Structure 1
Amino acid sequence: MKPVYEIAVVHGDGIGPEVCAAAVQVVKAALGPGSPLHFSEYPAGAEHFLKTGQSFPEPTFQACREADAILHGAGGLPGVIHPDGTEAGLDFTLRLRFELDLYANIRPVRLFEGVPSPLSGVKAGDIDYIILRENSEGLYAARGSGALLRGEVAVDTLVQTRSGIERIARKAFELARQSGGAPRDGVRRVTCCDKANVLRSYAFFRSVFDEVAKDYPDIATEHALVDAMAMYLVVKPGHFNVIVSENMFGDILSDLAAATVGGMGMAPSAEIGAANGFFQAAHGSAPDIAGKGIANPYGTILSAASMLDWLGHKHGDERLNQAAARIRRVTEDCLANGLLSTDLKGRASTSEITRSVCDRLTAGRD
């Protein structure tokens, strides 16, 4: 009997239900009848918090932990916060990262044909790299454990461990080995992004990275300070292949990078650990456009393709890898043919994009 993969679907807030539903439809179209995926929906997020006082119910967490993969729409709403001022909608994402040890946040940055970039003279193929964000340590590991003293002093601790740095560095080199290299020169390269000139924690990150690099003599290495990197991603994006960084730096840089390839609607992400995988677009819930039918689903669709790839490689199931490749090809064709959402200066609605992608996938199976 063919295996069945259980996918925990959490739609979330704002445009989350719209883009998540689009991704599910696309995956079903890619796999067709007899799909080995079973989708089950669970509640979490800011809207659920407003209704029940719980942002991440325990049954949802248990279902996510036991699922073969997790697909998420988006989380968070303005003003929906806990007494300490932190966002209730972020509980879902952050708890999964830390409790399921989803240490590798993989954020591909690629400029597709047909998608306008704000960078002058940059065309499709000129930007194609990965930002690999360490997802379980860094400054964000202090969430919920920092101190606020007498309303005068606030302290959060940045945490870096040797084992955490080693495994994310190794993941960066493995991703580089699997890649075609940087667009500008074809060199397989890993760039370590830090602030080693100021803080010991980042100097430690760099020193451990350099130790790991010795095991990968076939991959070029370099260092970049995070402030300089913010400039480099704008002035020479074609130079980069894989960039690895601490949690917060990776978070910030990946949003800047997304802006160079069409915006947050074109920003897929995969968050993976030894046992679990969590997939969502890197954008927020965009409540200002929720329900208008104009949300860009491409980021979540591409995240779902990453989910299929991860499952396929993990379980040796080529059906899933082939479906992921078809989704990417069809997405590329749709964008190149001008099927653009409003954030990409187009006019296509969420449903029009979803229907076109699904129709092309179905036709490709016949």
Structure 2
Amino acid sequence: MSEYEIAVVHGDGIGPEVCAAAKSVVEAVPGLTGLNYVEYPGGANEYLRSGSALPTQTLEGCRKAHAVLHGATGIPGVTYADGTETGIEFGLQLRFALDLFANVRPIRLREGVRSRLAGRQAGDIDYVIVRENTEGLYAARGTGIILRDETATDTLVMTRKGIERVCRFAFELARSRNGAPGDGKKRVTCCDKANVLRSYAFFRRVFDEVAEQYPDIEVDYAYADAMTCYMVERPEHFDVIVTENMFGDIISDLAACTVGSMGMSPSGEVGDEHGFFQAAHGSAPTIAGQNIANPYGSILSAATMLEWLGKRHNDERLSAGARAIEAAVDQALRDPSGLTRDIGGQASTTDVTQRVISFLR
């Protein structure tokens, strides 16, 4: 029986609470053994303690692990001299160091959760945002220039290699899905600003070149500003969306609110060799320690981790564990007692955790 090492970084704010919930759910999957957890520090509190949000031992631990499970990092008041947050350095630098080029963010409206879009029901919204994760505007992190306290610049970076691989990832993902809810078509939508900037026009051109290799997948386009309208007006049209780093960050937050809240949004950041799994939300320090944070996003991220590990290592035990967690989450949400405050209920973090575990058993 295979053994897998999971690096666990709890982080800041609600990070330790939701990360513990995810870990507890994975540990409760019947018959799922062989996962060994090793905890490492990281985030804003670690920066205050040691001067680094991503200590060397944490980076090396994440590099050698089979996967990384994370809570959340960042505290708004803990910043560098330039005003940027220290805690998020953990995730940003880990993406670059482990080459986690595809940030996969599933957007699915589940039964029992009310959409903020009128009239939408479970099954109406079910698509995936694939966010390029190592280039774009965020590649300028720490390298921007402030000239004489009058002018500030950050450089948007795109490479052919980076665009090709994330677009290919998106098309391969579309092949594995059932298509858009509205018409059942397997479709990849390119979200950009190709009408304004050369960098995005280049992104679209390379996207088109990759698309030629997938004649079975419908090709679609949306400018980023229009996309924010389409995601509200006709979310059933989308199957897979691929986009640049910053645009992916922005539209995935909007998308999460259409399926309940940011607390319902899992993510998996993957490359050719490594995988990093966390909910798409932040550390929410204003509610930390109150046992009211929504852990579903983290629990579903842990399921995504098992699915990724299962495929990577051809281990059906892990894949079955992922399916079991997904099913347990769906059952937990069907009754109001499984809803946290952000999605219209009163359940606590531990209430949800135990409820999901009860359906696993």
Aligned partner of 1:49 in structure 2 is 47
Matched-pair contact (CA < 8 Å) for 2:332–2:359: no
Map 1:140-151; keep pairs closer than 5 Å. Answer: 140-151=138-149
Aligned partner of 1:352 in structure 2 is 351
Task: Measure, in 1, the Cα distance between the counterparts of 2:321 and 2:172.
Answer: 23
Aligned partner of 2:241 in structure 1 is 243
Structure 2 counterpart of 1:216, from 209, 214, 221: 214
Which deviations, in whole Å up to 9, do the C-alpha atoms of 1:260-295 show, x marking residues without a partner? 001100000000000000000000011111111111
Which deviations, in whole Å up to 9, do the C-alpha atoms of 1:294-314 show, x marking residues without a partner? 110000000000000000000
Structure 1 counterpart of 2:305, from 288, 304, 307: 307
RMSD, aligned CA: 0.8
Task: Measure, in 2, the Cα distance between the counterparts of 1:162 and 1:53.
Answer: 36
1:340 has 2:339 as partner: yes
Which deviations, in whole Å up to 9, do the C-alpha atoms of 1:127-170 show, x marking residues without a partner? 00000000011000000111111111111111111111111110
Task: Measure, in 1, the Cα distance between the counterparts of 2:61 and 2:5.
Answer: 9
TM-score (norm. length: structure 2): 0.98
Task: Measure, in 2, the Cα distance between the counterparts of 1:36 and 1:235.
Answer: 45
Matched-pair contact (CA < 8 Å) for 2:331–2:359: no
1:16 has 2:15 as partner: yes
Map 1:87-98; keep pairs closer than 5 Å. Answer: 87-98=85-96
Matched-pair contact (CA < 8 Å) for 2:107–2:255: yes
Task: Measure, in 1, the Cα distance between the counterparts of 2:271 and 2:281.
Answer: 21
Aligned partner of 1:105 in structure 2 is 103
The offset of 1:83, in angstroms, is 1.4
Task: Measure, in 2, the Cα distance between the counterparts of 1:210 and 1:178.
Answer: 20
Task: Measure, in 2, the Cα distance between the counterparts of 1:160 and 1:347.
Answer: 44
Aligned partner of 1:166 in structure 2 is 164
Question: Residue type matched to 1:239 in 2?
Answer: H
Question: Residue type matched to 1:283 in 2?
Answer: H
Which deviations, in whole Å up to 9, do the C-alpha atoms of 1:287-346 show, x marking residues without a partner? 111111111000000000000000000000000000000000010111012210011110
Which deviations, in whole Å up to 9, do the C-alpha atoms of 1:93-123 show, x marking residues without a partner? 0011111110000000000001011111111
Structure 1 counterpart of 2:56, from 52, 55, 58: 58
Aligned partner of 1:136 in structure 2 is 134
Unaligned runs of 5+ in 2: none
Moved more, 49-58 or 259-268: 49-58
The offset of 1:54, in angstroms, is 2.2
Task: Measure, in 2, the Cα distance between the counterparts of 1:203 and 1:233.
Answer: 22
Aligned partner of 2:272 in structure 1 is 274
Aligned partner of 1:263 in structure 2 is 261
TM-score (norm. length: structure 1): 0.97
Task: Measure, in 1, the Cα distance between the counterparts of 2:48 and 2:166.
Answer: 36
Map 1:26-41; keep pairs closer than 5 Å. Answer: 26-32=25-31, 35-41=33-39
Aligned partner of 2:192 in structure 1 is 194
Q: Percent identity among equivalent residues?
A: 62
Task: Measure, in 2, the Cα distance between the counterparts of 1:89 and 1:60.
Answer: 14
Aligned partner of 1:83 in structure 2 is 81
The offset of 1:51, in angstroms, is 2.4
Aligned with 2:36: secondary structure?
strand
Aligned with 1:108: secondary structure?
strand
Aligned with 2:222: secondary structure?
strand
Aligned with 1:295: secondary structure?
coil
1:290 has 2:292 as partner: no
Task: Measure, in 1, the Cα distance between the counterparts of 2:86 and 2:344.
Answer: 32
Structure 2 counterpart of 1:67, from 65, 68, 72: 65
Unaligned runs of 5+ in 1: none
Aligned with 1:223: secondary structure?
strand
The offset of 1:53, in angstroms, is 2.3
Question: Residue type matched to 2:290 in 1?
Answer: K
The offset of 1:78, in angstroms, is 1.6
Aligned partner of 2:5 in structure 1 is 6
Aligned partner of 2:360 in structure 1 is 361
Aligned with 1:89: secondary structure?
coil
Which deviations, in whole Å up to 9, do the C-alpha atoms of 1:43-69 show, x marking residues without a partner? 111112222322211101110011000
The offset of 1:31, in angstroms, is 4.5
Task: Measure, in 2, the Cα distance between the counterparts of 1:217 and 1:98.
Answer: 32
Aligned partner of 1:25 in structure 2 is 24
Aligned partner of 2:125 in structure 1 is 127
Task: Measure, in 2, the Cα distance between the counterparts of 1:224 and 1:21.
Answer: 38
Which deviations, in whole Å up to 9, do the C-alpha atoms of 1:1-30 show, x marking residues without a partner? x12100000000000000000000000111
Question: Residue type matched to 1:253 in 2?
Answer: I
Which deviations, in whole Å up to 9, do the C-alpha atoms of 1:201-237 show, x marking residues without a partner? 0000000000110100000001110000010000000
Which deviations, in whole Å up to 9, do the C-alpha atoms of 1:146-200 show, x marking residues without a partner? 1111111111111111111111110110110000000010000000000000000
Map 1:224-243; keep pairs closer than 5 Å. Answer: 224-243=222-241
Question: Residue type matched to 2:341 in 1?
Answer: T
Task: Measure, in 1, the Cα distance between the counterparts of 2:52 and 2:101.
Answer: 25
Matched-pair contact (CA < 8 Å) for 2:100–2:270: yes
Aligned with 1:86: secondary structure?
coil
